[in-house]
């Protein structure tokens, strides 16, 4: 039985490469040929995927000798389990339906490997952008307007995702990319645009429900709402909790959110974390975060999911904030 299981796993990996994302299923998206993609460098890797910068040779098309840069995502070699493979397909299915200025654009699928081809975002993730600025000692005040614009842009992208009946489930600064915005009114101060990415954990919500039930496995619990930690139910407003943590990352200038056990000075277990959140423990206000902004952040961290604001109401509040 074990041998058969092992064979089934290997077969499943091959299925992923050849059939899982077969051309017939996806005639509506652009297809790229693996052979026309040349890797330039690795851009980053998360828990599940590796993202590479590739140059795409267009010379077989109408424009001769023209190549474009794209970002190409594949599953990490050690992550090719049946579950992850189906999550990868799910990521494609969800992402291909999105078309919004604050969401990284999925361009298509590369065959026969089945990798995802997306627009290349030259400034990388918001997390690395924040850390770099902090390390280079760029004064926080000088980028405050830009950070505020990012907050609104992420909120707009999330409002759109929810309007499409999807939950992101992994909203964090590492999964928001920083793109360039060429037609900015105030090019000096707000020249960058936040674009939400990484739909690997995203799910479609059954139209008759307001939540999705999933496995807790290897999830980023510091970004997770209490109901996700306790019984793995993901509501639309579970994303709102994660948005609050993302705002915390932005206004703490790229620090990592960590709940620590004051007595043991160690990380909390899941049960300890849930109990602490239930007792009202929250991440502290970052020194650079204005108190009115932190009130908005705190509203995202209401213990009960039904007490949290929607992205539409958050957008209204953020737009009223004075910068
Ligand atoms: P995972 O599902 O493994 O978390 P991600 O989609 O989050 O993978 O990508 C991992 C990292 O790769 C990101 O944090 C970012 O640094 C980089 N990256 C992802 N997409 C792009 C892109 N379109 N352009 C530039 N860098 C990217
Ligand atoms: Mg990621």
User: Which residues are found with C-beta within 5 Å of the ion, ligand 2?
Assistant: 46, 175, 198
pLDDT value at residue 49 = 86
- Annotated catalytic, 99? no
Q: How far apart are the C-alpha atoms of 78 and 200, rounded to whole Å? A: 16
ipTM: 0.98
Please choose from 123, 197, 200, 202 the residue to mutate so as to test ligand 1's pocket, defined by most ligand atoms within 8 A of CB.
197
pLDDT value at residue 90 = 85
Note the pTM of the prediction, 2 decimals.
0.86
Ordered per-residue pLDDT tens for the chain, 323 residues? 555 554 444 344 434 444 445 544 544 578 899 999 999 999 998 878 899 999 998 776 655 556 899 999 998 877 777 767 777 788 888 899 999 999 999 999 998 888 999 999 999 999 999 999 999 999 999 999 999 999 999 999 999 999 999 999 999 999 999 999 765 555 555 689 999 999 987 777 765 555 555 554 456 788 999 999 898 888 999 999 999 999 999 999 999 998 877 666 667 788 889 999 999 999 999 999 999 999 999 999 999 999 999 999 999 999 998 66
Report the SS3 class of residue 322: coil
Work out the burial of residue 302: count CB atoms within 10 Å of its CB; fewer than 13 is exposed, 13-18 middle, 19 or more buried: middle
30: left (phi over 0), alpha (psi -120 to 50) or beta: beta
Q: How many residues appear in the chain?
A: 323
The two three-digit tokens of residue 313, written as one number: 């109401």
Q: Is 198 in the pocket of ligand 1 (CB under 6 A)?
A: yes
The two three-digit tokens of residue 322, written as one number: 């004075």
Of the candidates 57, 77, 99, 170, the residue annotated as catalytic is 170
* Backbone dihedral angles phi then psi of residue 292, each to the nearest 5 degrees: -65, -35
pLDDT value at residue 88 = 79
pLDDT value at residue 206 = 64
């Amino acid at each position: 039985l074990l041998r058969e299981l092992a064979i089934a796993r290997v077969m499943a990996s091959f299925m992923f490469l050849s059939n899982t994302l077969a051309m017939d299923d996806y005639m509506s998206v652009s297809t790229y040929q693996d052979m026309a993609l040349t890797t330039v460098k690795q851009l980053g890797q998360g828990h599940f995927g590796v993202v590479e910068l590739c140059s795409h040779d267009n010379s077989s098309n109408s424009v001769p000798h023209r190549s474009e840069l794209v970002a190409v995502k594949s599953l990490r070699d050690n992550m090719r389990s049946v579950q992850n493979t189906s999550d990868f397909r799910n990521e494609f299915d969800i992402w291909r339906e999105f078309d919004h200025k604050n969401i990284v654009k999925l361009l298509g699928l590369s065959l026969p490997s089945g990798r995802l081809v997306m627009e290349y975002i030259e400034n990388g993730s918001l997390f690395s952008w924040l850390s770099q600025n902090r390390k280079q000692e760029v004064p926080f005040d000088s980028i405050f307007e830009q950070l505020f614009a990012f907050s609104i842009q992420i909120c707009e992208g999330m409002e759109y995702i929810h309007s499409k009946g999807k939950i992101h489930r992994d909203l964090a600064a590492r999964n928001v990319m920083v793109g360039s915005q060429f037609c900015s009114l105030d090019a000096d101060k707000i020249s960058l645009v936040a674009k939400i990415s990484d739909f690997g954990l995203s799910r479609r919500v059954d139209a008759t429900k307001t939540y999705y039930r999933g496995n807790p496995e290897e999830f980023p619990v510091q970004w997770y709402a209490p109901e996700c930690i306790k019984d793995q139910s993901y509501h639309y407003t579970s994303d709102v909790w994660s948005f609050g943590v993302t705002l915390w990352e932005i206004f703490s200038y790229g620090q990592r959110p960590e709940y620590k056990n004051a007595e043991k000075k160690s990380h909390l277990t899941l049960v300890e974390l849930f109990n602490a959140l239930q007792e009202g423990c929250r991440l502290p206000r970052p020194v650079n975060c204005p108190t009115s902004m932190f009130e908005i952040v705190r509203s995202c961290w209401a213990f009960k999911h039904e007490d949290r604001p929607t992205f539409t109401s958050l957008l209204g509040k953020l737009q009223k904030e004075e910068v």
